Amino acid sequence: MSREWAIPDSAAEHVDPAALYRLMAWLSPAFPIGAFSYSSGIEWAVEAGDIKDATSLERWIAVMIGEGSGWCDAIFLAHAHRAAKMNDTAALKDVAELAAAFAPSKERFLETTAQGRAFLDTAKAAWSSPQLDTLALPSPLALPIAVGAVCAAHGVPIAPALNGFLHAMSANLISAGVRLVPLGQTDGQRVLAALEKVVAQTVSAAMTASLDDLGSAAFRADLASMHHERQYTRLFRS
């Protein structure tokens, strides 16, 4: 699949300070959606020996962000944001159903839908929005759909929402790796710094991607999430 990495002009949209404050709050590790309890299959990858140090963790997450679940979630978020901004409930329902169906395993489905519902409920409780109330978001609700809809309702443009979402995803996966390998905190930050380029490239491509561009080439990561269901000793829910 050919992608254009040039960042579109819309990526430079001004972000209102209040919207930026909310985005930082929603995608903070302190936001109570239970993200810390999921590893997206990294726990099995560590046990299997696929991930054994900072370099292998970086490579694993780079594939997930650029060619796997991160890529798909970025597209879902962008399309959910546009549908919510236009108050197009039918389009939002369609992309939400597609996002839920794209989960490659039972645990990954639980991971995205449990966090998606918690994200929406918590955001609505702390930052009320009449627009969100009229959207009637469906259930099950994948996390990128919830983030896209909430960001649109509060005036957070797509580009910063995507950057924040993929940064949060990367940081959470790194946190799992740091605990499981284990790695030092500085190694974790080196991995996060190394992922900056792939996150920027994924955001750029997702900004102009259609739903026809959906697809994952992170087969080992998807298999890891399936194997994790039968893993004997587990610290994480996925």
Report, as an integer, the average pLDDT of 26-31: 96
Of 15-19, 107-111, 183-187, minimum mean pLDDT range: 15-19
Q: How far is 93 from 84, CA to CA, in rounded Å?
A: 10
Element (H, E) at 125: helix 106-126
Question: pTM for this structure?
Answer: 0.93
Cβ-in-10-Å burial (0-12, 13-18, 19+) of 189 comes to: middle
Report, as an integer, the average pLDDT of 104-123: 97
**Mean pLDDT of the chain, nearest integer:** 93
